Structure 1
Amino acid sequence: MTIDHTPRTTSTGNAGIPAALSARLATRVSAGPDAQRVQTATPFTGDLLADLPVSTPADVEAAFVRARAAQAAWAAKPVAERKAILLRFHDLLLDRQSEVLDLIQAENGKARRDAFLEVTDIALATRYYARSAAKLLAPKRRRGAIPVLTHTTELHHPKGVVAVISPWNYPLSMGAGDAIPALLAGNAIVQKPDTQTALTALWALDLMTEAGLPTGVWQMVIGRGGSIGQSLMDNADYVMFTGSTASGRRIARDAGERLIGASLELGGKNPMIVLDDADIAKAAEGAIAACFSSTGQLCVSIERLYVAESVRDEFVAAFVERTKRLKIGAAFDYSTEVGSLTNQSQLDTVTAHVDDAVAKGATVLAGGLPRPDLGPLFYEPTILTDVTPEMTLYNDETFGPVVSIYTFRDDEEAIQRANATTYGLNASVWSRDGARGRAVASRVRAGTVNVNDAYAAAWGSVDAPMGGMGDSGLGRRHGADGMLKYTEAQTVAHQRLLGFSAPAGLSDSAWAQTLTLALKTMKRIGAR
């Protein structure tokens, strides 16, 4: 593997981030003047990155009070005004991308090309929802109970104040992506980003404020879930959470107790299927993106790779060769392809999973080692084979740059093996025959399945829903669902002239016969 040792030499503050920017963003945290402080370090070197105030449960409650006060006026604004603010945010994001790319890399450790995909993602989502909101939220005529006589309308009202709990692995995509449709729908937000990547989320809030978002509509709190999580749950009207399956279960339970809604994107053990007619060169290159983007710290990343027996040797040779040529390093430019893991816990998990597999008989085809010579949290992109069920990584999510290769005899076995998991978030299928690829994809139990692509095709199709099945979560982001979940649907039905009771002068028996005849007639003429 090619190593890049080039450090960033143009930084003006800790870890390449201007000290003034870090200090200014920290002031956007909803916390008291005497708040305790927490420091974060950059994964690339372990150097100090940010010094942030810590919110208390009382700070969270106060943030919700301010958010409720601001939400009513925000919801009262015409959708066109909310749209204009979001489109200004879109332009500012693209114009100032170098600033946030530095933040993402400094906080998360990923390669710059992976950080740029977060910018692309938020630009796509912002434009889509800004230009779709009016149609999605507009009152809609619905078929009435009695044709002509029942005038029925579907309305959508904002939930109120949404709690967004966002993770560290995609600090901009998750830090802003779920806020965008919630804001356009007329909600206020109290968000708890992961502390490690809080500066990126705070930057998005800062930029949205510059674009014209009124004070109080979107607020950030910082703290551990064990400290302020309950306050978030106790005050929210809806919860959007991205994180582990274990935490998602607790949030779903607490939301159920309060009878509020929740959308949960959780873990995955995602499969990729290489059929016997796949373009092997393209599939091998696709597997690089599928397995090692963002150092494998990607909810839709591939960790199980199933290859048809007849092309197994050809694919493995191409995939291993390309993996060994990956450029690994900590450069704040586009010269590297794989960055660092984000925290010690992830490095420990990746190391433990690989060491356990090797000790139990797995074969390392590429990688397999941490790289402290590059930085404290680097780990080589790793390919394993001969992985068996007693190995931890056979079923458990690794969430790192590690993939296991298996073989299959036919399409039926490939589908069966891909579905042999409690998870169901993302999958990938490779075939030269598009119809065959789509047919296999339709039978894979996952919320998104990509044909001849790793994950970006489905994720980037923001007009279509994205989410998980089984242990991978509840609810969907993107598409109409991604906005309407932040609303309360209301039906207003206006009955005119005749109702459902017998009119004057007609017995209940005669009225029942009349309605029976009407129902039969409507069915006969094809009425819905």
Structure 2
Amino acid sequence: MTDNAPDGNPAAAPGRSRSAADVVTPELLARLTRAVPGSGETRSHAPATGEVLATLPESRPEDVAAAFDRAREAQREWAARPVRRRAAVLLKFHDLLLTRQDEVIDLIQLETGKARLHAHEEVQAVTMAARHYGRRAPAYLKPKRHTGAVPVLTRVRELRHPRGVVGQIAPWNYPLELSVGDALPAFAAGNGVVMKPDTETALTALWARDLMIEAGLPEDVWQIVIGEGPVVGPALVQHADYVSFTGSTRTGREVAQGAAARLIGVSLELGGKNAMIVCADADLDKAAEGATRAAFASAGQLCISVERLFVHESVADAFLERFAARTKAMKLGAALSYGADMGSLAGERQLKAVTRHVEDAVDKGAKVLAGGRARPDIGPYFYEPTILDGVGKPMAVCEEETFGPVVSVYRFGDEDEAIRRANATPYGLNASVWTKNARRGRALAARLRTGTVNINEGFASAYGSVQSPMGGMGDSGLGRRHGSEGILKYTEAQTVAHQRLVPMAPSMGMSDEKHAAFMTRSLRMMKALRLR
């Protein structure tokens, strides 16, 4: 985009078309919070301005316990409904969300400060998940027949039962996708959900709950509690039948320990230090455009965004010229209208982390190719999209997750080196490979130790392919969302074996010795017949 600031740094986008007061009205706030338990009060803020956005009820541990009681009571009736009726609620929600998307996009922008297009990407992701599980949940959950211990004589069925009530802890960075988007398969599987959204983005989750109820979800099946993580989080883990968590690796370890103590299942999507590899034969214009999206979507506050950029030394200068030009041309802003290329950071903590990483790298010899400074003239937590060249140890940005609009550039000589350096991290969430040779791209992708790899795209292709599993390796987490794994994790498998005619023991007058000989011959025969 054009309209750069005079010094060549990103310019501010046009001003707000509507104010927070126009969106978060007293009537809306009363409607959304009416079912939130808690006698205390807490506040959320608008990152784009720093102003208080809403006063919300604050829940206590006893409120969490009561929410689980209500959800359990409602879950029994919900689970008794045929799966197709449950799935129909998701399809109705899909249609309502597309029709009323502007309402929630306004809330997402106000609560996160992100650009409107990036807020719309959350709507895209949630509707894809709603459509997928609305269509495929009956097939994923239907009873399955398996070959029994003794063919013909042993008939086996695998059943899937809901776990009960899922405890879900949702983060602030994608308040629609990482709240209702993760809850949809849990509902389709017949579970109830007690969710703790981040306080700063609770309105988006509450709006989604309101829309799900309109789509036909029984009101008590989805409970939302609001409060400080160290207070509400442990209480949620204490009462849940399964825990779904998205957030930092440090907190994820604590959640896993709490779940392990109770012997309940847990899925965790945690941090990332994601790499993008630009091969010598890449289309440099497309790669530069893709890097801009991959590194700076939602101001880089995305677990699967690119923070490390490996470029073949033969094309590095040409690529960086294109990439820096696109980055400098980006417009910053969080107006409730389309036009800005990047929005604000979420708050002071993120701004401090980004500033620390950039200043530390520059002090130790890194070169700023674009950005590199805060923009309080636009809003209190805006920071320019930043490209750092010459990054290496012991710079903090080299290994620590920044979770902001900062990408570090590294040159490589051959693809073996690129793979080795890309894999040299405890994280393993997402990666990106750019090449004109499809076979090369697939071969490189298979060598990367990450849960998802995108060829000639940053992250959207893999994440948007909702029939396929998405999640992390190593310190990036446990379990998967999307696809069959994304719904089956919310179920307990039960094997029902029906033995017919004769028992699995000596019978018809056989001695133990004859039975053992008979079974030995049978086992050999089953192998010869290639039975599984």
Q: TM-score, normalised by structure 2?
A: 0.97
Q: 1:218 to 1:406 in 2, by over 3 A?
A: same
Q: Following superposition of structure 1 onto structure 2, how do residues 269-280 of structure 1 map, counting pairs within 5 Å?
A: 269-280=273-284
Output one character per residue of 1:101-123: Cα deviation in whole Å (capped at 9) or x when no partner. 10000000000000001001000
| Alignment pair present for 1:36 and 2:43 | no
Cα distance, 1:19 vs. partner? 3.6
Cα distance, 1:15 vs. partner? 7.3
Q: Is the 8 Å Cα contact of residues 162 and 490 (structure 2) preserved in structure 1? A: yes
SS at 1:129's partner residue?
helix
Output one character per residue of 1:147-195: Cα deviation in whole Å (capped at 9) or x when no partner. 1000000000000000010000000000111110000100000000000
Which amino acid in 2 is paired with 1:445? R
Query: Which of 475, 481, 484 is equivalent to 1:480?
Result: 484
Query: Which of 465, 468, 474 is equivalent to 2:469?
Result: 465
Q: Is the 8 Å Cα contact of residues 24 and 54 (structure 2) preserved in structure 1? A: no
Q: Is the 8 Å Cα contact of residues 124 and 462 (structure 1) preserved in structure 2? A: yes
| Alignment pair present for 1:115 and 2:119 | yes
| Alignment pair present for 1:386 and 2:390 | yes
Which amino acid in 1 is paired with 2:183? A
Q: Is the 8 Å Cα contact of residues 426 and 455 (structure 1) preserved in structure 2? A: yes
> In structure 2, what is the Cα distance between the partners aligned to 1:15 and 1:455?
34
> In structure 1, what is the Cα distance between the partners aligned to 2:387 and 2:41?
41
SS at 1:477's partner residue?
coil
> In structure 2, what is the Cα distance between the partners aligned to 1:511 and 1:9?
82
Match of 2:25 in 1: 18
Match of 1:68 in 2: 72
Cα distance, 1:22 vs. partner? 2.6
Match of 2:168 in 1: 164
Q: Is the 8 Å Cα contact of residues 17 and 335 (structure 2) preserved in structure 1? A: no
Q: 1:15 to 1:40 in 2, by over 3 A?
A: farther
> In structure 2, what is the Cα distance between the partners aligned to 1:512 and 1:500?
11
Output one character per residue of 1:19-71: Cα deviation in whole Å (capped at 9) or x when no partner. 4223321223222xxx1211111111112211101001111000000011101
> In structure 1, what is the Cα distance between the partners aligned to 2:16 and 2:324?
30
Query: Which of 15, 24, 34 is equivalent to 1:7?
Result: 15
Q: Is the 8 Å Cα contact of residues 130 and 184 (structure 2) preserved in structure 1? A: yes
Cα distance, 1:86 vs. partner? 1.4
Match of 1:491 in 2: 495
Match of 2:4 in 1: none
Query: Which of 426, 431, 438 is equivalent to 2:435?
Result: 431
Q: Is the 8 Å Cα contact of residues 160 and 494 (structure 2) preserved in structure 1? A: yes
SS at 1:178's partner residue?
helix
Cα distance, 1:220 vs. partner? 0.3
Cα distance, 1:16 vs. partner? 4.6
Which amino acid in 2 is paired with 1:64? F
Q: Is the 8 Å Cα contact of residues 116 and 334 (structure 2) preserved in structure 1? A: no
How well do the aligned residues superpose, as a CA RMSD in angstroms? Answer: 1.1
SS at 1:240's partner residue?
strand
Between the two proteins, the alignment pairs up a number of residues equal to: 524
Match of 1:105 in 2: 109
Q: Following superposition of structure 1 onto structure 2, how do residues 53-202 of structure 1 map, counting pairs within 5 Å?
A: 53-202=57-206
Q: 1:254 to 1:329 in 2, by over 3 A?
A: same
Query: Which of 257, 260, 264 is equivalent to 1:256?
Result: 260
Which amino acid in 2 is paired with 1:342? A
Q: TM-score, normalised by structure 1?
A: 0.98
Cα distance, 1:17 vs. partner? 3.1
> In structure 1, what is the Cα distance between the partners aligned to 2:487 and 2:13?
43
> In structure 2, what is the Cα distance between the partners aligned to 1:502 and 1:372?
82
Match of 1:376 in 2: 380
Match of 1:224 in 2: 228
Larger CA deviation: 467-476 vs 494-503: 494-503
Output one character per residue of 1:210-262: Cα deviation in whole Å (capped at 9) or x when no partner. 11111210010000111112211110000000000000001111111100000
Which amino acid in 2 is paired with 1:107? E
Larger CA deviation: 401-410 vs 507-516: 507-516
> In structure 1, what is the Cα distance between the partners aligned to 2:249 and 2:439?
34
Q: Is the 8 Å Cα contact of residues 60 and 227 (structure 2) preserved in structure 1? A: yes
Which amino acid in 1 is paired with 2:57? P
Query: Which of 439, 444, 449 is equivalent to 1:440?
Result: 444
Which amino acid in 2 is paired with 1:63? A
Which amino acid in 2 is paired with 1:276? A
> In structure 2, what is the Cα distance between the partners aligned to 1:242 and 1:105?
20
Cα distance, 1:5 vs. partner? 4.9
SS at 2:384's partner residue?
coil
Q: Is the 8 Å Cα contact of residues 388 and 407 (structure 2) preserved in structure 1? A: yes
Identity of aligned residues (%): 58
Which amino acid in 1 is paired with 2:25? P
> In structure 2, what is the Cα distance between the partners aligned to 1:452 and 1:517?
55
